[in-house]
Amino acid sequence: MKKISQELVLRAQSGSTVAMNELLAWVHENFYGFTCKHTCNQEKAKDILQEASINIFLNLRDRFDAKDGHFSTWVGRIILNLLYTSYKYEKREKQLQGAVLSQLWFKELHSPTAIDALYASEVEWILKNTHLLPRQRPVLEYRLGGYAYHEIAEILGISIGTVKSQLYKARKIIAQQLHALGFAEQSV
């Protein structure tokens, strides 16, 4: 990490636009890799660095005292706080998604209102990220498409009992995989 001069920080604090631009360029140059490593996502890293830049711009005069610490430490703390906030938000979002999925998948999947409430993106995510057997996937897809048991049986050329059995097994596999990902309690 390149060192930042205290003079540059003092000039930026006194209102120099050129010095502030240099500081923000330094932040992006020196903290982009760190942020990418912790987010595992370049776009998210850029967003966090943008938010950090705004925080630095707004708080440099009032909140940073060059006598009390290094600029790099202060910036690092800002970025860590933003990363922590981002993680908390993602975790909460994941828990909320899990709660919705849990309710829909494990308790009310047979009801049309539950199917209507399940967003298309969530269905895509579940079907993409769960490992179902080839005979279970079409049964689940047709059921999520609103088909009745007898319609699925007719389309696939299997008995209604087999449709129900494969749907039950698919739900169970999804429940186990969502539980392993920390989305919901396992209950089928």
- Both tokens of 107, joined, read 């308790």
Between 91 and 170, name the one with better pLDDT: 170
Residues 19 and 59 in one domain: yes
In angstroms, what is the C-alpha Rg of the chain?
A: 26
Nearest partner of 49 among 94, 81, 17, 79, judged by Cα: 79
Between 26 and 120, name the one with better pLDDT: 26
From 44, 63, 90, the end of a domain falls on: 90
Q: Output the domain CATH number for residue 171.
A: 1.10.10.10
Residue 25, pLDDT above cutoff 80: yes
Residue 78, domain member (yes or no): yes
Residues 114 and 60 in one domain: no
- pLDDT tens digits, residue range 85-108? 888 777 766 665 666 555 555 554
How many domains would you assign to the chain?
Answer: 2
Between 79 and 117, name the one with better pLDDT: 79
Residues 40 and 85 in one domain: yes
Residue 95, domain member (yes or no): no
Residue 62, domain member (yes or no): yes
Domain residues for the domain of 133 are 107-180
pLDDT computed for residue 165 by the predictor: 93
Q: How confident is the model at residue 163 (pLDDT cuts 50, 70, 90)?
A: very high
Calpha distance 77→170 (Å, rounded): 45
174 with 184: CB under 8 angstroms?
A: no
- Both tokens of 8, joined, read 């540059």
3-state helix, strand, coil in the chain (%, to 5): 75, 0, 25
Residue 185, domain member (yes or no): no
pLDDT computed for residue 2 by the predictor: 75
pLDDT computed for residue 118 by the predictor: 52
Residues 133 and 84 in one domain: no
pLDDT computed for residue 117 by the predictor: 53
The amino acid sitting at 31 is: F
Q: What is the mean pLDDT of residues 8-26?
A: 91
Residue 188, domain member (yes or no): no
Q: What is the mean pLDDT of residues 13-37?
A: 90
Residue 23, domain member (yes or no): yes
Calpha distance 121→100 (Å, rounded): 13
pLDDT computed for residue 112 by the predictor: 47
Q: What is the pTM of this model?
A: 0.49
pLDDT computed for residue 98 by the predictor: 62
Residue 36, pLDDT above cutoff 80: yes
Q: Output the domain CATH number for residue 37.
A: 1.10.1740.10
Residue 171, domain member (yes or no): yes
From 25, 55, 90, the end of a domain falls on: 90
Q: How confident is the model at residue 122 (pLDDT cuts 50, 70, 90)?
A: low
